[in-house]
Structure 1
Amino acid sequence: MLASVLETYESWDLRKVAIPSRSRLYRLDPIGIGTPLVESLTGYISRLAEAHCVNSGVLMEKELATLVNKEFGSANLHRIYNYTTALNGSGVMATDLVQALEKLTLRDDLCFLTLLTWDKLFPSRNLLRSVRAWCPSCYQEWYEKKQLIYEPLLWSLDVVRICPYHHHQLIFECPHCHQKNTTLAWRSRPGYCSKCGEWLGQILSQESANRNALKKNELEQRVWVAKAIGELIAATPYLNDALSSTAIALTLSNWVEQIAKGNIAEFARQINIPRNTVWLWCKGRNLPSLEALINICYSFGVSILSFLTEETNNLSLSRKLVATEVKTTLRTRSKPFNAERVKSYLEVLLTNKESPPLSMEEVARQLGVDRRTIYKHFPDICRAISARYVSYKKDYHKKIIEECCQEVRLVAFELHNQGKYPTESAVSELVSKPGYFRCKKVRLALREANRELDL
């Protein structure tokens, strides 16, 4: 009787269950891997920090400090603000940060948010721009479609100056506080200014759009460049073999043979680059910058991805077609310096009371002339324009600070009337520009308000 009762029960498996490893941080999925608009590593850090309800600086300092044990630190953003662009690049800073983040998130694909795959191909100098850039139309479109707001890696490359989808020039200054953002700041947040906290997805006004308008041939070239770089970034996860710098030397040597019958001097003349520079490239002793390489590819109508990954024999070019395209491109690119035109433009600009005034960087961009060339010919006028711009920036900043101080005072009194203590944290959550609490004068305004309230 007892035996029959025991047989009705199932046996228990007392072996330990295999529990998968748990990550220290959220295993946040990167956006757009395998597409031209793949997310940047610095943008991923901002989203990861937002997912944990902390500032990017706090995440870097509290979680990555022990894993990135180097002088540049990545642990203290205040020390590396001007170098955070390298976190998206191909050097040791990007390598160390990728390894640290992959350890914390248990992901194995974060290297594709940087240029680490191309570390042996492109010199790091002038590869990435030192400040944050963005397309306001992309931000606004994503917001309206309720998509995730993020920072594409494409925007951080110095050679990319236009959005390949909206054909707008990338923006470098916040339209609200008129300040530039570092690539990764303490309060970085995708789609928002890290200085004043305002939304950056506003569509450009007609006046600003007219000011930033490009000529047709220049627009076409910049769009082509942006799309070609996007194609290169999109292909990165699918490359089976490690890319070698010898591929560049071999392909260039092949082009010299096809286009100029092996005459490096003639080839250099056609692409408007010094002969010795081209010779060093063909011998593999130096590497061309990404900008130089993309300009050569544009001249010959070959994508940079094909240039780097296909067999050189498959890139046979029509010598007649190439010669025509190169000459056309050079005529477009190498315009003579018209001193009278430039001087007249500068003098009109100096007497114009337009506000806000333009910086010399923007003036040079509108003229299509290198800023150093303009300074060389008209140093006094350039200094006057720069001084006017600097003076405007100082006055504007002073005005904004005064407005912030007044707003802080009003918010402090409002909180006190509600029976709440007006701490800096509480006030910063209610003011329109919390980023300005980094200014000593704004913090002093709060202290004075508290003294008036006998707190």
Structure 2
Amino acid sequence: MILANPRSTLHALKPMGIGSTDVESLTSYLCRLAVSHSVSLPSMAKLIAGTIQETLRENFDWHERQLSGISETAHIWASAISMLTGVGSLDQLTLSPWAQVIPAKGLITRQVRWCPDCFRDDTKAGHERYYRLSWNIGVVTICHKHHRPLILACPECGRVNQRHKASYVIPGWCSNCGCCLAEQAAQDLDSTYRVKPEEMWIARQIGLLLACQTSLELLPSATIVRENIRLIITGLDHGIGANFAKRIGVSKSSVHYWLNSGGLPTLNNLLQIAAHSGISLADLLTQPLKNWTPPIDHPQIALDLGHMNKERLLPRVLDWEKIKTELMVFARLPVPISVAEAGRRLEIDDRYLYLQANQEARVLGVRWKQYVARRKYLAMLEIKPTLESACREIIEDGRSINLREIERKVPYEILMKVEHLYDVLNEIKEKLRIT
């Protein structure tokens, strides 16, 4: 008998935001899928790899595959997860639809970034928090919805990229300290950051590009992009490639390579071309510009996109006396910050702070450690009664206290905040035996 709807191996988890600027990344979907099955990400990755007959080395880290990019790996893993879950179109959680028109170079950032306001919106909407696909794209530095920079460091422990270092990840919560990432300290530097118009324009262009993925009738073609660039060069610079190259800040050999040797502009260059031609990035990559005419005025050209073309900068001269003064100002903040966060604010590697401003950096470091220890202590005082109550219920049900039973009684959000969980549970067991 042929089954009309065979059962899936994994939960048929609904992907978030498909068809919108807030589409979920495949990495985020994998994290939520692992949580729904109460298994680690490495275990989930091994299951998926086995499905596609891929052998993972013994020390494989689950995040090594760029699941949200345009590589063949992203497409294969999206297909495998679709097969296991019964959920189709998971390639829409990656950039693979653009594989023929956007080069992989510099496309995906390895940094874990997020917008706290987006996480808060998820909670208000009554669904799970999730990481957006746009946060993985290197050129995007702000949230186009909330007009604020994307955050790199946990507001509680100051750690970066902790998602990549954890086996259990719940989107919206720090994988190191369990802090809610929807909360951001008011004194954070990002709260005083002024969003630049060019950053806003780039974020919107990327958002619109992701939103149109589901409506693509055919995959974008490199041939159409080349013809569009050729038409734009003719309209803006009378077909002179050297003048066009100077206009967008690349070498004339690069333009020749794009048009004649099978190469394609990077995402940065494509954004430059879109800005100068007055069209959207999505139209540049998907639509033949047969009726396009050069813009009469150039409002988008006024955007400062020069930072997108990496040029060799002059060495920075550091005034260490001024830096030491700023470090002491940081040390007097009502809520302490870490040395790493101070380095980010000053745009200096924190290792140099210890070398050149040792005393000030150590003052900052000691205050931060005391603050973190105090917060952990207060968090444990708040959480311990919940754990004790769960343990009492388990004993009353005639079961033994173990991690699986605890996970059934206590939400992940609380368990993630507990350091050395096994030691804490053993301490509670001893207490309950005595009483």
In the alignment, does 2:207 pair up with 1:230?
yes
CA distance in 2, matches of 1:18, 1:415: 42
Aligned-pair RMSD on alpha carbons?
4.4
Deviations 1:345-395 (A, max 9, x none): 64543554354143544433xxxxxx7xxx9xxx96796479949967994
- 1:253-402 equivalent positions in 2, closer than 5 A: 253-318=230-295, 321-322=297-298, 325-326=300-301, 329=304, 346=323, 348-350=325-327, 352=329, 353=331, 355-356=336-337, 357=339, 358-364=341-347, 384=356, 388=361, 395=369, 399=373
The code of the aligned residue for 1:174 comes to C
Equivalent residue pairs, number: 416
In the alignment, does 2:109 pair up with 1:150?
no
In the alignment, does 2:21 pair up with 1:40?
no
In the alignment, does 2:171 pair up with 1:171?
no
- 1:63-78 equivalent positions in 2, closer than 5 A: 63-72=47-56
Of residues 5, 10, 23 in structure 1, which corresponds to 2:8? 23
CA distance in 1, matches of 2:54, 2:266: 28
The code of the aligned residue for 1:144 comes to K
Deviates more, 1:332-341 or 1:52-61: 332-341
CA distance in 2, matches of 1:394, 1:338: 31
CA distance in 2, matches of 1:330, 1:42: 29
Task: Note if contact 1:360-1:385 (Cα within 8 Å) is conserved in structure 2.
Answer: no
- 1:125-144 equivalent positions in 2, closer than 5 A: 125-144=105-124
CA distance in 1, matches of 2:388, 2:86: 47
Task: Note if contact 1:122-1:290 (Cα within 8 Å) is conserved in structure 2.
Answer: yes
TM-score, normalised by the number of residues in structure 1: 0.74
Which residue matches 2:35? 50
Helix, strand or coil: the match of 1:137? helix
The code of the aligned residue for 1:108 comes to G
Q: How far did residue 291 of structure 1 move?
A: 2.6
Of residues 97, 100, 115 in structure 2, which corresponds to 1:120? 100
Task: Note if contact 1:249-1:284 (Cα within 8 Å) is conserved in structure 2.
Answer: no
TM-score, normalised by the number of residues in structure 2: 0.77
The code of the aligned residue for 2:222 comes to S
| Rg larger in structure | 1
CA distance in 2, matches of 1:243, 1:342: 50
Q: How far did residue 42 of structure 1 move?
A: 1.7
Gaps of 5+ in 2: none
Change (3 A) 1:214 1:254: farther
Change (3 A) 1:162 1:432: closer
Deviates more, 1:275-284 or 1:111-120: 275-284
Deviations 1:296-319 (A, max 9, x none): 32344321001111213333213x
Which residue matches 1:239? 216
Q: How far did residue 340 of structure 1 move?
A: 7.2
Change (3 A) 1:32 1:332: closer
Q: Sequence identity, in percent?
A: 22
